[in-house]
Homo-oligomer: A and B are copies of this chain.
């Protein structure tokens, strides 16, 4: 952390800041006297500092963080890529991890049909929402526990592990009793009570980036989970909110190499939400793998024109199967592969 003093700050002001840093926070200081401004560098564990307190001292203009604000998520401290198993598949190695399924669980036949179809196409896990966060109170809100039961039945029938969203801390035990991976939705990325409760479950977590969260905030949200001793976190880029309206969100493709550089956690792309239109899903999914993502989560529905939610961005099973084949080719071009369902390359 560096403290930038104002142009014209007095030596007394500088001295008081140094004194505070050393006495209150127990840190050391280095003073750098520039032509226009004095800069005070702090040495030690700056997490002891409350930045706003220093900002309100006389003569202080700004603080500049030197280190990143997260620790447990940082590649600086854990250089090697994380890798963990989900069902019989592995996330985070050279094999890609592909999750597919409908936006919402709607019925037994829909789930079974979809689960068999995505398994056959090459998916490694099944997604489906039983509890649905919806912008409007007039939209379909999900089947609740009945939906969890149908997911479990589809897992039984196909062997695919289940990824499903949990929206509230008090529902973590219920959802965890059915799911293999807990999904934290984009709107809940900074629902800190939920992050903590999900982290404590010990299950792998798919953490979606909030639509206006910076990558630092995203990694700090992951830090809430990691600080519960749960290291099985997948980071999911799902598009950010910008001025552009021709797609539902703007896929931040840059986020993939940036996250891979800053953290060791696996990065998954959701091309369905990040585009919002089925016509664009395959192109952006391929782009994500080419950019270095460790996997995909794709909305697939056997009859999108009957879907109770997100039909517009859902692929039909046949198109999803074609996408998996394209992903295999892109994966080969970047030194990755799409394992078969048992986790063994054919």
Contacts and interface: CB of A to CB of B under 8 A. Distances in A.
A307 interface: yes
Residue from A41, A247, A308 having most chain B Cβ neighbours under 10 A: A41
Contacts of A108: none
Given A137-B220, A244-B215, A57 B305 contact: yes
A326 B336 CA distance: 13
Interface stretch (A85-93, A118-126, A276-284): A276-284
Contacts of A180: none
A134 B192 contact: yes
Nearest to A52: B311
A289 interface: yes
A23 interface: no
B251 A69 contact: no
Contacts of A70: 136
A286 B280 contact: no
A26 B63 CA distance: 27
A109 interface: no
A291 B285 CA distance: 8
Contacts of A140: 50
A334 interface: yes
A4 interface: yes
B52 A227 contact: no
Which range holds the interface residue count of chain A?
35 or more
A318 interface: no
A113 interface: no
A246 interface: yes
A100 to B, nearest CB: 18
- Tallying the copies of this chain within the complex gives 4
Majority secondary structure, A binding face:
mixed
A5 B255 CA distance: 23
A55 B312 contact: yes
Nearest to A140: B50
Contacts of A169: 168, 170
Given A52-B312, A53-B305, A326-B334, 13 more contacts: A2-B39, A36-B76, A47-B138, A52-B311, A54-B305, A70-B136, A210-B212, A247-B254, A251-B253, A253-B284, A258-B280, A289-B290, A326-B333
Interface of A: 2, 4, 7, 30, 32-37, 39, 41-45, 47, 50-57, 64, 66-67, 69-70, 76, 133-138, 140, 167-170, 187-188, 190-194, 210-212, 214-217, 220, 223-224, 227, 240-247, 250-258, 261, 274-275, 278-280, 283-284, 286-292, 304-313, 326, 329-330, 332-334
7 A-B pairs with the lowest CB-CB distances in the bound complex, closest first? A212-B212, A52-B311, A32-B41, A329-B333, A290-B290, A30-B32, A287-B287
